[in-house]
Amino acid sequence: MNKVKPVLILLILSSFYLSGCFFFKKDVMKDTADNVEEAIIMKVNNENYLVTKEEIFQATSKSDKGGFRQTSGYREYRLTSYDLKTGNVLNRINLKESDDNYHYFIGPTDGLLWYVSIDKKIGLHARDPKTLEIKISQEDILNANPDLRNNLPTTKYYELRKYYGYDIDKKLPMISDNSGYIYYLNPSTLKAEKTTKSIKNFNYEESTTSTSMNFDKESYLSLTGSPRKHLRIQSKELEEPSFLDGNFLFSSNILNVADVNPDFNSPIMKKKEKRQHELDSLTNRLEEFDENASNKSWEIKYLKSYIEYAKRDIENFDKELENYTNDKYNSLITPDKSIFIIHQSNATDTSKIVISRIKIKDDGIEQKWETYVPDIFAEPSKVMSKPGFEYVFSKGSPDFSKKRVLFYDNKLVIILMLRAVCIDADNGNIMWDIEL
């Protein structure tokens, strides 16, 4: 009997593999992720944890014809908790396929992460950021709110954000019932309180870079020039330092402005307080006049006119404060009024990213540090097309372009090219760099 040569076996196997008929299934709990859908940093008992929802793409067929790449398959998900000090994996759970157990992230409360799953057995619940265990179950919530039993919306996964939300001002989950009534959910008592407010959402895919930003309500920063950009504060442009393809770095999650930048509204608040003081003085002055004091009629008329003007001014200040709400705030500004700028190490396709911390001072700026990030490229799409980064006929379908940026407890975390890098914001040192 003739023996089949090893090279022939290899060719046959290669043929199956390249035609899309033969794929290795990825291990959801062990293999690298294909995408990072969500990322948040949480504190529990004075310890910080990075929690990510990671996508694992199970490819069933792939092709590469004429440079056009096409991949078919299905998505599975997992939740992973990392120690923010070391980057070590602490816990991980398999959420399986999106059609079976899709977890929609509602938002964070003190020491808890709130989710709703389309799996009716799990439903609305809260998890421990470290262990990822369910600490508050849907049954706990229904026991505290009997009227909600059999009265929570059942919907497709892509419609969950219409019925479950989060108010970042109040830091409370929001839920609706089958009749369309909206409730705030108290994380401590689990009591649902009806509200007339509409569902809001905790946005976690905000734009992370821009060449402009509002430093506070009246101070505007921009980066101008090409290819090196210079920092401009209001109308004053600074010659140095300059940044190759520089952009301001923003959080990929919405932020509570009162927590991260309590001075943001201070310029308007000072004007409002000044006008309120004037209004109070004018009102007191008007009350001192006798209504029949005809010899003072011109002064009374003036006071009434100015009081109305001051009231309109205060109303305008309130409207201006409302126009910049927490629903769209994601500026990264440190307690000492520093910002972060992301730029490139050089102008080649394989340029790495560089992060600079710039402190804004009354008399100018101070560059606190500059850090080169060795394992993340500035232009992932250009690098991916090179032979050394070929991935078409590999397991999964990795998305190297998704960027997440988080800042917490003076630590800056950047997720890009399916890597997570944690930088000590005090000195710019890289604390850890891991593959997700």
**What does the DSSP assignment read for 283-339?**
HHHHHHS-TT-GGGHHHHHHHHHHHHHHHHHHHHHHHHHHHS-GGG--B---TTSEE
Residue 333 CA: distances (Å) to CA of 189, 260, 317, 377, 434: 34, 7, 23, 24, 25
Query: Which pLDDT score, from 0 to 100, does residue 322 have?
Result: 65
Q: Is the pLDDT of residue 260 over 80?
A: no
- AA identity, residue 108: P
pLDDT band at 394, cuts 50/70/90?
low
Max mean pLDDT range (211-220, 267-276, 361-370): 361-370
Of 196-205, 322-331, 336-345, the range with the lowest mean pLDDT is 322-331
pLDDT of the residue at 19: 43
Which alpha helices (H) appear in 69-174, and where do they start and end?
98-101, 138-144, 160-163
Whole-number Å distance between alpha carbons of 412 and 48 = 13
Is the model's pLDDT at 250 over the cut of 60? yes
Q: Could you tell me which residue, 345 or 320, shows the higher pLDDT?
A: 345
Please report, for the chain, the start and end positions of each structural domain, with discontinuous segments joined by +: 209-259+328-374, 266-323
| Confidence class for position 329, pLDDT limits 50, 70, 90 | confident
pLDDT tops 80 at residue 139:
yes
Q: What is the mean pLDDT of residues 319-341?
A: 79
Instruction: Tell me which of 111-120, 283-292, 357-366 is least confident.
Output: 283-292
Question: Residue 362's pLDDT is what?
Answer: 80
pLDDT recorded at residue 66: 63
Helix axes 266-288, 297-323, angle to 10 degrees: 160
pLDDT at 15 > cutoff 50 = no
Indicate the pairing of strand 103-109 with strand 220-224. unpaired
Look at residue 426 and give its three-state secondary structure. Answer: coil
Answer yes or no: are the C-beta atoms of 248 and 339 closer than 8 Å.
yes
Query: In whole numbers, what is the pLDDT of the chain averaged over residues?
Result: 84
**Of residues 301 and 393, which shows the higher confidence score?**
301
Rounded Cα gap, residues 169 and 204, in angstroms: 16
Partner residues linked to 175 by β-bridges: 164, 183
Residue 379: which of 428, 342, 341 has the closest Cα? 342
Q: Where are the beta strands (DSSP E) in 98-152?
A: 103-109, 112-117, 124-127, 134-136
- Bridge partners of 435? 419
Q: What percent of the chain has pLDDT over 90?
A: 50
pLDDT surpasses 50 at 319: yes
Residue 267 or 76, more confident: 76
Summarised one tens digit per residue, pLDDT across range 158-196 is: 899 999 999 988 999 999 999 999 999 999 999 999 999
In this predicted structure, what is the pLDDT of residue 252? 93
Residue 169, pLDDT score: 86
Residue 435 has pLDDT above 50, yes or no: yes
Going from the C-alpha of 190 to that of each of 116, 135, 175, 185, 186, the distances in angstroms are 15, 12, 12, 6, 5
Q: What is the pLDDT of residue 41?
A: 96
* % pLDDT > 70, the chain: 85
Which pLDDT band, with edges at 50, 70 and 90, does 271 fall under?
confident
When mean pLDDT is compared across 296-300, 339-343, 354-358, 375-379, the lowest value belongs to 296-300
pLDDT surpassing 90 at residue 236: no
pLDDT (average), residues 71-84: 91
